Each structure stands twice: as C-alpha cells, then as structure tokens.
C-alpha cells in the first residue's frame, strides 16, 4: 500500500508540474489584461508603472519561474481586479461549488441506481422503456436551456423555488454552507437538479448495462440454483459487482462536475468557482484563471486516487500492487 501511494504521489507531482507549465503558457499567451485594466486615457508612464506592478514587464519564462517559486509556498498570485490572493478568492467560492457538485452526484446515484437496476432486471417492461427514453433526454437537452425552463416553471410560474442566488448559509468547519439551512436547500435544489440530469442518465445506462451483463454470469446462476431469495441474489451478487464501473465513472464525473459547473452557476447566479472563473476570463484576470485551473488539476488527481483506493473495498480481487505494475 505504501509503495503504491508513494508511486502515485510522485506521478501526481509530475502531472502538476507539467500542467502548471501548460496552463501558465496557455493563459498568458492569450490577450493583454493591460488593455482592460488600465484606462485608455492613461499616459505611457502610467501604463509602464501598472505593467511593472502587475509583473508583466518580465519575460514569459521569468514570469513562470516566479509563479512556480511562489506556488511552492502556497501563493498562486494576486488578482489583478480584486487585489487579493487568487487562492483566497477561489477558496471563498469553493464551498458553494462543492456542495452543488456533491448534491448533484448524490442525486444522480439516488435516482440513477434504482432506475438502472429496474431497467436491467425488466428490460422489456413499458416502464423500463420509458426510463431509457428519459435517459436519452438527459443526455440530449442542453444544460442552459433546462436551467432556464426550471426557472420559468418552478420560480416564475409556480413560485415554489427561488430562481437565483445561494440563500442563507450556516458555518461548519469554518466554512459557509447552504445545505445546513432550509432556505439554502431551496436555493440549491434547482441548480443541483440541472447539474445532475446528465449524471442521472449516465448512471442509469451504466447500471442497466452492468445488470444485463452480470445476470448472465455463472455465479449468479449458481446463486439462483441454490435457492437464494431474488432480493439477495440481486443485492449481493448483482448489485455489488456492477458498482465498480459505476464508481469509476461517477468519480471521474465528480471532477468534471466541479470543473464544468460554469453554465449552471451562470444561469442560476450561484456564487461558486465557475461564476468566478467566467468573470475573471471577461477581464483577463490571469492569476485567478491559473489558480482555478491548478486547483481543478489537483482535484482530478485526488479524485482518481480515491477511486483507485475504493476498488479494493468493492472488489478484493482488484489489487493495488497490480495497478502499480
């Protein structure tokens, strides 16, 4: 276990260094924030002072090494717009994005697993056909359009739910969370539904495909031949064995949900990292953009490691040592 973890940590460090170079060069090669941040009426001397203050007067390679040296100390730069540490700005918005992403993922599992299990066990029933048709809609409908329709129906027409914002929050572990208050949960419901639709469809199809494959295996036939109750056959021999691909995809999709919650946060004015990155892109706030992308990279690496470790819990046949070879 320790050898495997050490190897994965070394791989993670190499990936972070490589991504830091790609992200830094990619972001700093696009646009000129000076044209946005400095008044057009400023004279040449004022422009030069502002450029030097932002550190943009250095060559690109030197800017990167300055960024790398500071990043190793936990400093990802200061926002050009807010004049605050970029990392602090992102961490302030992170709880909003995390609770939205985890809420959408939990919703996808709670809804998708039972529906996919039923569709796999009874593939020819009318309800199963309706479930699979609904999953196609979940894949096909654009997120921004679904979000607007949810606002139109449940906020404007029916008045059941608030349309935008995060609502009141409550502190837990030094961070502010919406799900700890009833009004915050009401604000969170529509964005979480909107963000979870694609994941629900994905979980339904993965679960159905896994069930259809697993029920044909010899160990399932043997369990039925022994006279085990159908519920036990499904719960122990079928359901547990289909969880590995589901956990893999849902784990990776969790990272994607966090990274690409931009559309949902923009539609519902949810004050998370996605809305912050859109605002930063509009004004070319490079330190915030780079810090956001680096944090997303670290999240993906961490999630992948957690998914790999979960394998051994769900299926003892999957050995960590084998993955390291």
pLDDT of the chain, 325 residues: tens digit per residue: 567 677 777 877 888 888 878 877 777 766 666 665 666 666 667 667 766 766 666 777 777 787 788 777 777 777 877 878 888 888 888 888 888 888 888 998 899 889 988 888 888 888 988 988 888 888 888 888 888 999 999 988 888 888 888 878 887 877 778 888 888 888 888 999 998 888 899 889 888 888 888 887 777 777 777 777 777 777 777 777 787 778 778 877 887 788 778 888 888 888 888 888 888 887 777 788 888 888 888 888 887 777 777 666 656 555 544 444 4
Q: pTM for this one? A: 0.75
Look at residue 158 in the predicted model and tell me its pLDDT.
87
53 burial class (0-12, 13-18, 19+ CB within 10 angstroms)?
exposed
CATH 1.10.3720.10 domain range(s) in the chain: 87-314
| Interatomic CA distance for residues 114 and 50, integer angstroms | 58
pLDDT at 262: 83
Q: State how far the alpha carbon of 56 is from the alpha carbons of 139, 166, 284, 316, in Å.
A: 43, 36, 13, 53
- Taking alpha carbons only, the member of 260, 249, 259, 254 closest to residue 297 is 259
Whole-angstrom Cα distance, residue 278 to residue 261? 11
The length of the chain in residues reads 325
Q: What is the CATH number of domain 87-314?
A: 1.10.3720.10
For residue 262, give both structure tokens.
Answer: 């931009």
Give the pLDDT of residue 174.
74
């Amino acid at each position: 276990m320790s050898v495997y973890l050490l190897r994965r940590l070394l791989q993670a460090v190499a990936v972070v260094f490589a991504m830091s170079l790609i992200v830094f060069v990619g972001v700093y090669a696009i646009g000129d924030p000076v044209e946005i941040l400095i008044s057009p009426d400023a004279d040449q001397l004022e422009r030069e002072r502002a450029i030097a203050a932002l550190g943009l007067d250095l060559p690109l390679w030197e800017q990167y090494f300055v960024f790398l040296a500071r990043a190793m100390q936990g400093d990802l730069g200061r926002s050009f717009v807010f004049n605050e540490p970029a990392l602090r700005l992102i961490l302030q918005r992170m709880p909003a994005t995390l609770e939205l992403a985890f809420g959408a993922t939990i919703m996808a599992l709670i809804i998708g697993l039972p529906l996919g299990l039923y569709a796999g066990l009874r593939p020819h029933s009318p309800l199963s056909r309706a479930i699979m048709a609904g999953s196609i809609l979940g894949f096909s409908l654009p997120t921004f359009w679904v979000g607007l329709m949810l606002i139109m129906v449940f906020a404007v027409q029916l008045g059941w739910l608030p349309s935008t914002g995060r609502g009141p929050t409550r502190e837990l572990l030094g961070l502010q969370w919406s799900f700890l208050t009833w009004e915050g949960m009401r604000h969170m419901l529509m964005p979480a539904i909107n963000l979870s639709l694609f994941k629900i469809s994905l979980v339904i199809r993965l679960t159905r495909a896994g069930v259809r494959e697993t029920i044909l295996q010899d160990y399932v036939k043997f369990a039925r031949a022994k006279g085990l109750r159908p519920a036990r056959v499904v719960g122990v021999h079928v359901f547990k064995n289909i969880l590995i691909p589901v956990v893999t995809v849902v784990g990776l999709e969790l990272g994607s949900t966090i990274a690409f919650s931009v559309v949902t946060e923009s539609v519902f004015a949810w004050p998370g990292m996605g809305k912050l990155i859109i605002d930063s892109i509009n004004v070319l706030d490079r330190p915030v953009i780079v810090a956001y992308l680096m944090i997303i990279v670290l999240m993906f690496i961490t999630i992948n490691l957690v998914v790999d470790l979960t394998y051994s819990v769900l299926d003892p046949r999957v050995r960590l040592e084998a993955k390291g070879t």
